[in-house]
Structure formats: C-alpha cells, structure tokens
A = this chain, B = another copy of it.
Amino acid sequence: MKTLQVDLGERSYPIYIGAGLLDRAECLTRHVPASRIAIVTNETVAPLYLAKLRAHVASFQPLEVILPDGEQYKTLEVLNRIFDALLAARCDRRTTLVALGGGVIGDMAGFAAACYQRGVPFIQVPTTLLGQVDSSVGGKTGVNHPLGKNMIGAFYQPRAVIIDTDTLKTLPDRELSAGLAEVIKYGLIRDPEFFTWLESNMDKLLARDTEALSFAIHRSCRNKAEVVAADERESGVRAILNLGHTFGHAIETGLGYGSWLHGEAIAAGMVMAADLSQRLRWLPAADVTRIEKLILRARLPVRAPGTLAPARFLELMAVDKKVMDGRLRLVLLKRLGEAVVTADYPRAQLEATLASRREAA
C-alpha cells in the first residue's frame, strides 16, 4: 500500500492506494469518529463490493443507500433520497458517509455529507478509474442542473480516500477508457514526463497490467494533490485541472447527461483545446497529433458529436463556471505539459475549432 497526503492544513487527509484495500478495514475505520456509518453506492457497484465492505464495518451499524447508476441521476432529486434515508434512520451529525462507487456516487455522497445537518464526515472509496485518479480527490462535490453540469455543489474535503486497485478488475472497458482521459490530462497540463510514459505504456494500461495501473493512479493522484494543495477553492491554478472540461461539459449537457461518459466528453474536449492552442500558435501541429493519437489509443473520441451544432455548442459553453463578467475563460496549452487559463483568444479561432473538430452530422 502506498499513501499520499493531500496537504490542506486542518483539512489534510491521506489517499491510500493498493490492491485489496477493501479487505483492510482499518484504512477506513480509523477515520470514522463515531459508531455509525452510511454507505452510499449504486445498483451496479452494490452487487460487486457492498457485501465485502459491509462485513468489515458491521460494528458501525452500516446504513445502505443504493442509488440508480449514471450521470443522469446526479440530480437534486436523487440527492434528496440520501437525505430521506439518513433522516428515516435518524442518522446524527457524527454519522460518517462512505461513498462506494464512481465519480457520480462520490460527488453526490460528498455533497450530501456537506449539507446533511450542515456537515458530517465522509470517506471516498472510488471503484472506477475516473473516481480514483480524479473526482475522489480534492473535495469538489455536487450535482448537475438541466442547464449546466456541476452547477450546484460545495467544496468539501473527505477524511480519507481509499483506492483498492482490485476494483478495476470488474470495470467495463468503456469506463476504463473514460478514466484514462483524466490520466492523460495530468500529462498534458503539468507532467510531460508522465505523458511520455503513457505513450510507452498505454497498451499495458488497456490490458489492466496491475503495476502499470498502480503507477498511473499514484502519479495522477500526486499531480492532483499538489494542485489542490496549492489552490483548494479554485481561485487560481486549480482551474488547469479543467482542461477539456468546458468543451466536455457542453457535450454532456447538450447530448443529455449519461449519453457520453464524462471521460469521453473531456477526451474530445482536450483535443479541441489542443486544436485551439495550435491556432493560437502555442502548440506545434506535431504535438496536437501526438495528443490525438494517444487519446485514440485509449479508445476515446477525439471529436465533438456531429449532432451538436457549433452555435448550440457556444451557447452551452457560456454557462461554464469559469465565465467571469461575461467572458468565457478556457484552459489551453502553452506547450505539451503546461496549461494556462485565458479569456484572451479570438472568438473566430474558437469557432474554427468547433467547426473543424466535430464528427460528420
């Protein structure tokens, strides 16, 4: 087992990474302050891992809340089901919420923990690659709104993140690829050496080589922990973690949540950001090709869906959280391995990217 620390003063917490951690209950229980936990999971993950987790925490009177699976259920209404269950079971302010599942479960259970009785402890147990390398670390929680992704939420840090790499054995191929999009992101925004490593090791990752996956998860979490420690509430540098996300969120909202996976949408979004960076003469064409090639090898889309017209795409991008006083800021690449946040690009160039980087309708 490896341990990383997310350094946030009194809100600091460990990330445990290793095979079989679901069987090592003390990773979890040492972060539970009182006698009660509530496990939030979904219909897909519950049959795979809930019994195992339950057996190890039996003395904590575990309440179980099982939600439907999918981004389309990341809503205020479904969030309320967590509150219903907690209140019906009279869970008090010291109940610890445990998120067992992917990014959607982590975001919702974390937001529920932030709001229930104005805040209860919570622990992330991500079971998807995307959850493990990205969404479980850093305290971003929330739900979607029909008009925009992750528009309602809180910054609320977990007490611990427990990554059992064995859970990836049951992950569908499509979800593995979606997680790789966020892995590739770290290479692009701040870790060019890791990008090169990914070019050499993509086949191993797709073959679920344990060692390669472990390395990629650890390296991704380390990158994320460093950025979050520098800027917890995204007043500055943290925004670079959103490379491809403004494009990606427009795709997710435009197609309806749950159509493309989040990782798929941001994969195409990263290629679009690279394309625009090239138009600004920051990135050579050869690097855009390298990026596109690696994303393709990860079995991810490199173009926006043809059904989404560029005008509609622009409209959807305009509700992004990075909009400031009416100007849309984007995360772009100064070079491969260095991201910047900027509103300083010609609108015509953005339109050219939208027109050229989409599938035929």
Task: Tell me which of A86-94, A176-184, A254-262, A279-287 binds B.
Answer: A86-94
Asked if A93 and B324 sit within 8 Å, CB to CB, the answer is yes
Contact yes or no, A87 B145, CB < 8 A: yes
Q: Is the CB of B119 within 8 A of A155?
A: yes
User: Which residues of A are at the interface with B, using a C-beta cutoff of 8 A?
Assistant: 34-36, 76, 80, 83-84, 87-88, 90, 92-94, 114-119, 140, 142, 145, 147-148, 150-155, 233, 318-319, 321-326
Q: Which of B88, B93, B152 contacts A116 (CB 8 A)?
A: B152
Per CB-CB distance, the 3 closest pairs between chain A and chain B, nearest first, are A87-B147, A92-B323, A117-B321
Given A83-B151, A116-B151, A142-B118; A90-B233 close (CB under 8 Å): no
How far apart sit A152 and B81, CA to CA, in the bound complex (Å)?
12
Chain B proximity of A233: nearest CB distance (Å): 7
A35, B119: Cβ atoms under 8 Å? no
Instruction: Evaluate whether A233 and B83 lie within 8 angstroms (CB atoms) in the complex, with A90-B323, A324-B93 already known.
Output: no
Which of B84, B92, B154, B321 is close to A154, meaning CB atoms less than 8 Å apart?
B154
Q: How far is the CA of A118 from the CA of B115 in the complex (A)?
A: 12
What residues on B are CB-neighbors of A116 within 8 Å? 151-152
Which residues of chain B are within 8 angstroms of A152 by Cβ–Cβ distance?
83, 115-116
Specify the chain B residue showing the minimal Cβ separation from A328. Answer: B92
Known contacts A145-B87, A147-B88; is A154 also within 8 Å of B324 by CB?
Answer: no
- Cβ of A83: which chain B residues have Cβ within 8 Å of it? 145, 151-152
Q: A90-B318, A92-B325, A117-B151 are in contact. List 4 more A-B contacts (CB 8 A).
A: A76-B76, A87-B148, A93-B321, A115-B153
Nearest Cβ distance between residue A112 and chain B, in whole angstroms? 9
Note all chain B residues with C-beta closer than 8 A to A318. 90
A-B contact pairs, 14 of them (CB 8 A): A36-B325, A76-B80, A84-B145, A87-B148, A87-B151, A92-B321, A93-B321, A94-B325, A115-B142, A117-B151, A118-B140, A118-B154, A118-B233, A119-B155
| A92 close to B324 (CB less than 8 A) | yes
Beta-carbon contact of B34 and A94 below 8 Å: no
Q: Which of A92, A118, A322 has the most CB of B within 10 A?
A: A118
A37 → B minimal CB distance (Å): 13
A326 vs B119: C-alpha distance when bound (angstroms): 18
Q: List the B side residues contacting A321 at CB < 8 Å.
A: 92-93, 117-118
Task: Give the docked Cα–Cα distance between A84 and B90 (Å).
Answer: 31
Q: With a CB–CB cut-off of 8 A, which chain B residues contact A92?
A: 321, 323-326
Please name all residues of chain B whose beta carbon is closer than 8 Å to the beta carbon of A87 when the two chains form the complex. Answer: 145, 147-148, 151, 319
A334 to B116, CA, bound (A): 31
Q: How far is the CA of A34 from the CA of B325 in the complex (A)?
A: 7
Q: Which residues of B contact A117 (CB under 8 A)?
A: 151, 153, 321
Q: Which residues of B contact A153 (CB under 8 A)?
A: 115, 117-118
A39 CA to B86 CA, complexed, in Å: 33
